[in-house]
Structure 1
Amino acid sequence: MSEAPSTAPVCYRHPSRETMLRCSRCDRPICTSCMNDAAVGHQCPDCVKEGRRSQRPARTAFGGSRAGQLGYATTGIIAINSLVMIASAVLGGPRAIAGAGGFFGLLGEGTPLTDFGEVLGWATYGGQVHGIAEGEWYRLFTAMFLHYGVVHLLLNMMLVAQLGRYLETQLGPMRFLALYLLAGLGGNVTAYVFQPANQPSAGASTATFGLIAAVFVVNRRLLRDPGPMVPLLVTNLIFTFTIPHISIAGHLGGLVSGAAAAAALAYPKLPHRTLKQVIGLSALLIVLVAAAVFRTQSILG
């Protein structure tokens, strides 16, 4: 005599598994492998996905998304600087890496790549006139990715790794990149404005000084104690003013620009927070461009 067929419900995703559990949202039968704990009962995988799609993504106090926790922007900045250093060493040879002087003899010498992209107001070399005033405006951007040797690179990338991850988590990747680039640009513009026209400079330190200032601003906005950042700032300022061949103007310009960009990101509130942030950053960019144009006119005039 054959047994009567089972009438127990089966999991809608696994028809071979009998179950008495049901999704509290759609009421379909689910097995223990498919159930997900919910505020009330359990939910099936499809309802969990649907709930995530309809749920508003979590944002930080500055509008940053959860993507900032992954640190992609910080990692990308370090990777680009490292690749540019490798290219510079290939073009410049061993002395481009270290041993050419500066910072106790540990820095490298200039290379064709640094000659091409460093901050330079106006000068003649290679039988030609070069410089920002001569139309090479890209130098204000490229200089923040160039370094005179591996030690120079490592010192800056250590700060990017330490401060960048924190700021990217708070601001999100796009806002953090805007902060980093504006700080670097601000430092380079300041170097262009206040250094002799034929004095070159390069390095991510314009941007890293901006990151130091940004941590102060962000922590202040979050009502956190910025005190632990003071020794780092003081140490870097001591290096800036005591070690020869360091761009004082570039470092201070990056510090001020980073603080201004961070304030533009940290203090706007809802509604229209993103729009207010864009306006603040755009205003800073306009000021920097105006300063560079004024300096160009003074050199050529």
Structure 2
Amino acid sequence: MQIAEALRLPLSQDLSGFVSLLRRLGVPHRVSEEAGEQVVRVPQEFAEQVRELYARCPDGEGLGVEPARRGGVLRQLRGHPLSALMILVTLVVAAITALGENLDAVRWLSFTGFRIEGEYAYFASLGATLEAGQWWRLFTPMFIHFGWLHLAMNALWYWELGRRIEIRQGPLALLGLTLLFGLASNLAQHLYGGAGIFGGLSGVLYGLLGHCWLFQKLAPSPAYRLPPGVVVLMLAWLLICLTGVIELVSFGSVAIANAAHVSGLVAGCATGIIGGLLSRARRG
């Protein structure tokens, strides 16, 4: 493993916060004093990303992995405005739709419009929906959640993955990826499962996971260095869902949008490969 000099700073610069951040991210590093300066050395593949990370977070704050302390939550929210906004919108929609129970509200956010007559729901076609100019429906199902557990897990995972992309590639990149993965997963679920009510950020989350995973493989970055076992855990859960065992043990009370998960993951892997290759090319 080749070691490279990432930073050379005056002795007066307090590096304790930044070094602590590197430690929490699991980035191997060594700090030494040379010729009256502090020198930070890391593996060659991390050198450029550590410089970028220091430019953004010289005191070790802002990446969302600092220990909880007074004001820490507010600092994290301010440091990741788009991630925070997405979660806020999701919570507001959960309140308005009563976690999927308020069908009058859900019908304005579902992939296609529908009406209920008696015990039956009649759904408009996708073509008729788009002809009516209701383009927002292509994206809004990702904000609909069914139950507190569904909402809490998706919000937590979006915060975990979204803020990494926001700090590494910026809020506009995170917004673009979220919309892309939302569109891909919603469209795939509609085409595979047919007309119906579905929702949740899960497809987007698998897209963000695939993006971080393969981007990190091609262009290692401290921000995309996921905790050990996360990718394996998420992929294992996807495979379990695909077997249908979740619906079986829940006696059909829980429906898993498998097409949304798979399509989101595929889209995320594609953007991760493209982004990783472009980042590697820029490094030269």
Please state which band the TM-score falls in when normalised by the shorter chain.
0.5 to 0.7
1:66–1:172 CA contact under 8 A, matched in 2: no
How many residues align? The count is: 198
How far residue 182 of structure 1 moved from its aligned partner, in angstroms, is 0.9
1:123–1:131 CA contact under 8 A, matched in 2: no
Alignment correspondent of 1:47: none
2:219–2:279 CA contact under 8 A, matched in 1: no
1:200-237 deviation per Cα after TM superposition (whole angstroms, max 9, x unaligned): 21111110111111121122123477763212321244
Structure 2 gaps of 5+ residues are: 1-8, 13-47, 64-78, 248-254
Instruction: Tell me the amino acid that sits aligned with residue 272 of structure 2.
Output: A
Match of 1:260 among 256, 264, 270: 270
How far residue 153 of structure 1 moved from its aligned partner, in angstroms, is 0.9
After superposition, the Cα gap between the structure-2 partners of 1:76 and 1:237, relative to the gap in structure 1 and judged at 3 Å, is farther
Q: Report the TM-score when normalising by structure 2.
A: 0.59
How far apart, CA to CA, are the structure 1 residues paired with 2:239 and 2:197?
20
After superposition, the Cα gap between the structure-2 partners of 1:71 and 1:193, relative to the gap in structure 1 and judged at 3 Å, is same
Alignment correspondent of 1:81: 90
After superposition, the Cα gap between the structure-2 partners of 1:194 and 1:164, relative to the gap in structure 1 and judged at 3 Å, is same
Match of 1:164 among 152, 162, 165: 162
2:181–2:207 CA contact under 8 A, matched in 1: yes
Q: What are the within-5 Å matches in structure 2 for residues 238-257 of structure 1?
A: 238-239=240-241, 241-244=244-247, 245-257=255-267
How far residue 119 of structure 1 moved from its aligned partner, in angstroms, is 2.5
How far apart, CA to CA, are the structure 2 residues paired with 1:79 and 1:243?
29
**Secondary structure in 1 matching 2:97:** helix
**Secondary structure in 2 matching 1:246:** coil
2:218–2:277 CA contact under 8 A, matched in 1: yes
Alignment correspondent of 1:15: none
2:165–2:174 CA contact under 8 A, matched in 1: yes
Alignment correspondent of 2:56: 66
Instruction: Tell me the amino acid that sits aligned with residue 88 of structure 1.
Output: T
After superposition, the Cα gap between the structure-2 partners of 1:177 and 1:262, relative to the gap in structure 1 and judged at 3 Å, is farther
1:156–1:204 CA contact under 8 A, matched in 2: yes
2:80–2:163 CA contact under 8 A, matched in 1: yes
1:143–1:203 CA contact under 8 A, matched in 2: yes
Q: What are the within-5 Å matches in structure 2 for residues 52-201 of structure 1?
A: 66=56, 69=63, 70-89=79-98, 96=99, 109=101, 111-120=103-112, 125=116, 130-135=124-129, 136-196=134-194, 198-201=195-198
1:84–1:145 CA contact under 8 A, matched in 2: yes
1:49-100 deviation per Cα after TM superposition (whole angstroms, max 9, x unaligned): xxxxxxxxxx959x998398421111111111011111112xxxxxx4xxxx
Instruction: Tell me the amino acid that sits aligned with residue 133 of structure 1.
Output: G
Alignment correspondent of 2:217: 220
How far residue 110 of structure 1 moved from its aligned partner, in angstroms, is 5.5
2:94–2:145 CA contact under 8 A, matched in 1: yes
Higher strand residue share:
2
How far residue 166 of structure 1 moved from its aligned partner, in angstroms, is 2.0
Q: Report the TM-score when normalising by structure 1.
A: 0.56
Whose Rg is larger? 1
Instruction: Tell me the amino acid that sits aligned with residue 261 of structure 2.
Output: H
**Secondary structure in 1 matching 2:146:** coil
